[in-house]
Chains A and B, each alone.
Chain A
Amino acid sequence: MIIHSQTLGNIDIDPARIIQFPEGIPAFEEEKEFILIPLEEGPFCYLQSVNNSRLCLLMADPFVFFPGYQIDLPDEEIDKIEAQDHEKNLAVYAIISVPEDFRQSTANLMAPVIINMNRQKGLQFISSQPDYKTKHLLFPADQKVKEEGK
């Protein structure tokens, strides 16, 4: 099955790998079907809407950048993605925003995307943990200073 993406061009996807987002994602509530497109190497992947060619988001494994990251998924969210018995196969991604200066890229730790890989069901969870905001620098200032000092 070929789908069109404004970011990635035409892509051939296996319909069996389509992930259902029963509630869509905030701002795009009407889009219920997505496909996960991993990048060759590293922690990044794309989340492309199956039906909306313009809707494509860059995501990353948050634990690579934020080793202490943790989320506590309430039962009602677990129910929504039918993950009661599948907690070991939950994938967690943070949506990444890349401004002109890519070193200022941020991750949304407040609202991670959670996917039950066994059931192909996903949602964007809104955490109420006060420490997590929508913009956390992937490369915090100290690292940047080090690089510039090279």
Chain B
Amino acid sequence: MLILSRRKGESIIIGDNIEISVVDVQGDIIKLGINAPRSLSVHRKEIYDEIQAANREALQNLPTAEQLKKLQDI
């Protein structure tokens, strides 16, 4: 992993079109500004992890034919 130091107001550029800047630093909270093409999705990692886990669980928890029938009958 590349690790580098930045001060408030400084930024890094990834490739030629993704810029991440440090907008503010207050204690252990860092506010980041992200400039990236709209086609790229940016998510908080823990949220993305949660959705991945939910999708995997839904795949594991497909209804049996019998369960599906009961679901439809409600």
Residues of A within 8 A of B (CB): 7, 22-23, 25-28, 39, 41-42, 44, 54-58, 75-76, 79-80, 95-99, 102, 105, 108, 110-111, 124, 126, 128, 134-135, 138-139
Contact = CB atoms under 8 A, between A and B. Distances in A.
Given A102-B67, A110-B51, A58 B41 contact: no
Interface in B11-32: none
Contacts of A102: 63, 67, 70-71
Contacts, number: 86
A93 B44 CA distance: 23
Interface string B40-74: 01010001101111111111011100011011101
Contacts of B41: 23
Interface of B: 38-39, 41, 43, 47-48, 50-59, 61-63, 67-68, 70-72, 74
- Dominant secondary structure at the B interface: helix
Q: Which of B47, B54, B70 has the most CB of A within 10 A?
A: B54
A104 B43 CA distance: 29
A58 to B, nearest CB: 6
Given A57-B62, A96-B58, 6 more contacts: A27-B56, A41-B72, A42-B72, A76-B39, A98-B68, A111-B54
Contacts of A76: 38-39
Q: Which of A95, A98, A128 has the most CB of B within 10 A?
A: A98
A7 B62 contact: yes
A25 B38 CA distance: 17
Contacts of B68: 39, 44, 58, 98
B39 A79 contact: yes
